[in-house]
A and B are shown apart, each in its own frame.
Chain A
């Protein structure tokens, strides 16, 4: 099964949220569970990026790429960037894979590569 990262769509006004919220930031609808789950698209543009050189112990790499991507539907996400020499504005495509090994769990999230 292909894994997804989900956005949350308000049932009252249709505003899409990522990350999750309990109350809609647009219409402030205050009903429990008033969001529909909607998988985020995978393609987008790289808005900014960095390579981090001092990482917490769980990351067994010397240098980790991270960036902010604006996806096709306009929602922005943070993710890992597996691109040797990225440029601002380049087209990228995300895959959902293990991004962090915690003590009890593997954490899944976006890893972006050149489209």
Chain B
């Protein structure tokens, strides 16, 4: 297998974008092509979850490759729920590692604000089990809420811990010009003051508005390349050291232990094994905090903290930008936003920014290795990947 490097990155601001989905993808891609200093690629992978349903456009990859005048390069759309982004990176990795292609554009894009919030929530809920979950009105916030209640009961996580994740990540997003939410929040404003619960109403008890990521439009792109192409590019040598993917039952109720995110744990183990490292070797991580509880649970399942102790590490400040194990310096999904198909790519965009040392005020000091966890379904399809700077 050949080594694979990331030589270019691009991103749009995550917000409500008033231009077509294919142009959102193209805008991010142009940034990545320009950053890599290339005008041509062999293959294009477009990660997206909802184009056919919410934007009335199927075969999105054909539109993106055409908008970018990259024809006749091969182009494929990857739809794998909220893990579409990292799944596309994995396919791009395999395309270069196998020797089939030398330069691959991986772009993730989503335009969710074309429909209203309830339609967007319903669209994401279609990833649940059609007969055993979806018909009942289960939404992703609903799944997160039932999971949160069990986590609170079993491990002593409180509303305070959830709010601490939200405050940390939204405040990190203040340092990220491309983030969706540039709104500084405080524990007082969302939890402690008399007005707190007016500011921060229930979405699905026991989780509140500020426990949930926003509904965003946006795109992010990477250029993956072989070692020869990467060396010739003159860009920092950032290698994809490991990628692991794992699945779990589609219906959440079927899992033997409902607080267990088995697919996260196995995906991480597979990535570490491929990279020849352990969790202790990671300097910075982007975890999939679509809901605040998920940052806590994933930080345990990927091996940063013992199961049931992630909220204690958070309390000690270990997951802050200047902590021992910085998590979501970009703002995470919570602060940066969550255009579903773009998210997995955007997480790796941030890891590359950090490993290049280009993160400005949110820079994790001396970051040389990174990890991204892209969580699909409610934990039924997860991709964990690891990165290292080699020059």
Q: B251 an interface residue at 8 Å Cβ cutoff?
A: yes
Q: Which residues of A contact B100 (CB under 8 A)?
A: none
* Bound-complex Cα distance A54 to B122 (A): 10
Per-residue 0/1 for B233-265: is the Cβ within 8 Å of any A Cβ (1 yes, 0 no)? 000000000000000001111100010000000
Q: B389 an interface residue at 8 Å Cβ cutoff?
A: no
Q: Which partner residue on chain B sits nearest A70 by CB separation? A: B253
Q: A50-B205, A53-B203 are in contact. Are A100 and B146 (CB under 8 A)?
A: no
Binding-face segment, B33-41, B129-137, B308-316: B129-137
Contact assessment for A78 and B118 in the assembled complex, using a CB-CB cutoff below 8 Å: no
Q: Which residues of B contact A57 (CB under 8 A)?
A: 118-119, 122
Q: From the candidates B125, B132, B205, B254, name the one contacting A51 in the complex (CB within 8 A).
A: B205
Q: Which residues of B contact A68 (CB under 8 A)?
A: 146, 252-253, 258
Q: Which partner residue on chain B sits nearest A19 by CB separation? A: B132
* Bound-complex Cα distance A48 to B147 (A): 8
Secondary structure type dominating chain A contacts: strand
Q: Which partner residue on chain B sits nearest A80 by CB separation? A: B136
Q: B145 an interface residue at 8 Å Cβ cutoff?
A: yes
Q: B76 an interface residue at 8 Å Cβ cutoff?
A: no
Contact assessment for A49 and B204 in the assembled complex, using a CB-CB cutoff below 8 Å: no
Q: A67-B146, A68-B146, A68-B252 are in contact. Are A78 and B138 (CB under 8 A)?
A: yes
Per-residue 0/1 for A20-63: is the Cβ within 8 Å of any B Cβ (1 yes, 0 no)? 10000000000000000000000000011111111111010000
Contact assessment for B146 and A66 in the assembled complex, using a CB-CB cutoff below 8 Å: yes
Contact assessment for A78 and B139 in the assembled complex, using a CB-CB cutoff below 8 Å: no
Give the total of B residues in contact with A, Cβ under 8 Å.
Answer: 36
Q: Which partner residue on chain A sits nearest B126 by CB separation? A: A56
Q: Which residues of B contact A49 (CB under 8 A)?
A: 146, 149
Q: B141 an interface residue at 8 Å Cβ cutoff?
A: yes
Q: Which residues of A contact B254 (CB under 8 A)?
A: 18-19, 76
Contact assessment for B137 and A53 in the assembled complex, using a CB-CB cutoff below 8 Å: no
Least Cβ distance of A110 to chain B in Å? 8
Contact assessment for A53 and B138 in the assembled complex, using a CB-CB cutoff below 8 Å: no
Q: From the candidates B121, B132, B136, B252, name the one contacting A54 in the complex (CB within 8 A).
A: B121
Q: Which residues of A contact B145 (CB under 8 A)?
A: 50, 52
Q: From the candidates B125, B251, B258, name the one contacting A48 in the complex (CB within 8 A).
A: B258
Q: B202 an interface residue at 8 Å Cβ cutoff?
A: yes
Contact assessment for B258 and A78 in the assembled complex, using a CB-CB cutoff below 8 Å: no
Contact assessment for A66 and B122 in the assembled complex, using a CB-CB cutoff below 8 Å: no
Q: Which partner residue on chain A sits nearest B131 by CB separation? A: A19
Q: Which of A80-115 contact B (CB under 8 A)?
A: 80, 88, 99-100, 107, 109-110
Q: Which of B193-215 contact A (CB under 8 A)?
A: 201-207
* Bound-complex Cα distance A78 to B138 (A): 9
Interface residues of A (CB under 8 A from B): 18-20, 47-57, 59, 64, 66-68, 76-80, 88, 99-100, 107, 109-110
16 contacts between A and B (CB under 8 A): A19-B129, A47-B258, A48-B146, A48-B150, A50-B146, A52-B142, A52-B145, A52-B204, A55-B137, A56-B119, A66-B138, A76-B254, A79-B136, A88-B149, A99-B136, A100-B137
Interface residues of B (CB under 8 A from A): 117-119, 121-122, 125, 129, 131-133, 135-139, 141-142, 145-147, 149-150, 153, 201-207, 250-254, 258
Q: Assuming A48-B146, A53-B201, A109-B135, what are 17 further A-B pairs, CB within 8 angstroms? A: A19-B131, A19-B254, A47-B258, A50-B204, A50-B206, A52-B145, A53-B203, A53-B205, A55-B118, A55-B139, A59-B137, A66-B136, A66-B138, A76-B254, A78-B136, A78-B253, A100-B137
